[in-house]
Amino acid sequence: LGAKKAGRCRETVGQIPHLTRNKTTLPESKPYECSMCRKVYMCHSSLNRHMKSHDGCKTYECHKHGEKLFECKECGKTFSFRSSFRIHERTTHTGEKPYECKECGKAFIYHTTFRGHMRMHTGEKPYKCQECGKTFSHPSSFRNHERTHSGEKPYECKQCGKAFRYYQTFQIHERTHTGEKPYQCQQCGKALSCPTSFRSHERIHTGEKPYKCRKCGKAFSFPSSFRKHERIHTGEKPYACKECGKAFISLPSYRRHMIMHTGNGPYKCKECGKAFDCPSSFQIHERTHTGEKPYACKQCGKAFSCSSSFRMHERTHTGEKPHECKQCGKAFSCSSSVRIHERTHTGEKPYECKQCGKAFTFSFSSSFRMHERTHTGEKPYECKQCGKAFSCSSSFRMH
């Protein structure tokens, strides 16, 4: 271009990959024109700065004598900005993902998405809610959270009138009416209506576990499982029951507990009236009435009503102890046992007596229950011979 005489350049813009301003253009020539007010500028960056002066205007085109600068050779689509043109190429034609995470190897098309992903590894949460102080790593998550305070639900379904806080949730809901399942697994052919469910499903085949705990190194396939696991280390229990004050790590645990107070679970026991939200929990409960124990040990013949109890029992024969203390290396067959043991190192005593404030290592220990009985006067162990009652099982056996 520099070899041409000064004056208006007649090159076709779509045919050159990187347009630079004509070096010999006369000072009076200002090729970048504002589409709002027709003001012209010598360079693209000056036009960009100027466009911000048009309040509320977000859609504009950068013109060079009325022409768009970048044309896609594949489909002919034209773009005003090179950045928009490059993104179009990646999303539509090449599939290129130039931004790769050094931590986990995941690659991204957009730099903004890449930055947001990196915060998952760094833990950075720059967006803070003024109402409750909760922090977020992504601006969209922050805006969505704000609606929990304002109650705003801007997305309404035309079919049933149901309103939603989040556009993605609204989109997924609409598919319950249309039956659309646009995300299909290449491995097994299963179709899903939700992109997050689809990505989670893919990990079943790939075995990918992108969410890694910084405390213990354990990795997870799903962000919900990862967040729940983190609470084991932090001790956070965000779901508190307003009826009795009991707090829970996960929302499903909280919901199951609330059924005990409301009695509104979909699965209700005909024998005792207890309600459940989970069919498997309901099935296990029914066995307490029927006496059914479908899980029998092949070694000793002992039978169990619950599969988890059966698996723990099998370890008494195999000697397997998969749960190891990171402090001293002691191994346990049960995950709850290792958590309780770890408190001997940390000195943590999270369960406090409401009457006198005395603290205990875990809630269902015999020490804690016996201590509570000093306040209530309860004596559940009664001698059938003489009728004398005891608060402690060991005292009862000695008697």
pLDDT digits (tens, 9 = 90+) for 219-277: 888 888 888 888 888 878 888 888 777 888 888 788 778 877 777 777 888 888 877 77
Q: For residue 42, what pLDDT is reported?
A: 62
Report the chain's mean pLDDT, rounded to a whole number: 78
Q: Does the pLDDT of residue 211 top 50, yes or no?
A: yes
Residues above pLDDT 70, as percent of the chain = 82
Q: For residue 36, what pLDDT is reported?
A: 64
Answer yes or no: same fold for 72-152 and 349-398. yes
Residue bearing the bigger pLDDT, 44 or 112 = 112
Residue bearing the bigger pLDDT, 101 or 253 = 101
Q: For residue 24, what pLDDT is reported?
A: 37
- pTM for this entry: 0.35
CA atoms within 13 A on the CB side of 111: 4
> Which range is least confidently modeled, 53-67, 198-212, 321-335?
53-67
Q: For residue 50, what pLDDT is reported?
A: 66
Q: Does the pLDDT of residue 87 top 60, yes or no?
A: yes
CB 71 within 8 A of CB 14: yes
Q: For residue 62, what pLDDT is reported?
A: 40
> Which range is least confidently modeled, 20-29, 94-103, 332-341?
20-29
pLDDT digits (tens, 9 = 90+) for 283-328: 888 888 998 998 899 999 999 888 888 888 988 899 888 888 888 9
Q: For residue 302, what pLDDT is reported?
A: 92
Distance, in Å, from the CA atom of 365 to the CA atom of 176, rounded to the nearest integer, reads: 47
3-state SS string for 94-149: HCCCCEECCCCCCEECCHHHHHHHHHHHHCCCCEECCCCCCEECCHHHHHHHHHHH
CATH class of the domain at 72-152: alpha beta
- The structure tokens listed for 152 are 């705003």
Q: For residue 64, what pLDDT is reported?
A: 45
Q: Does the pLDDT of residue 172 top 90, yes or no?
A: no
> Which range is least confidently modeled, 6-10, 46-50, 76-80, 166-170?
6-10
- 349-398 placed in CATH 1.10.530.10: no
Q: For residue 300, what pLDDT is reported?
A: 93
- Structural domain spans, the chain: 72-152, 349-398
pLDDT digits (tens, 9 = 90+) for 329-374: 888 888 778 877 887 888 777 677 778 878 776 655 567 778 888 8
Distance, in Å, from the CA atom of 33 to the CA atom of 41, rounded to the nearest integer, reads: 6
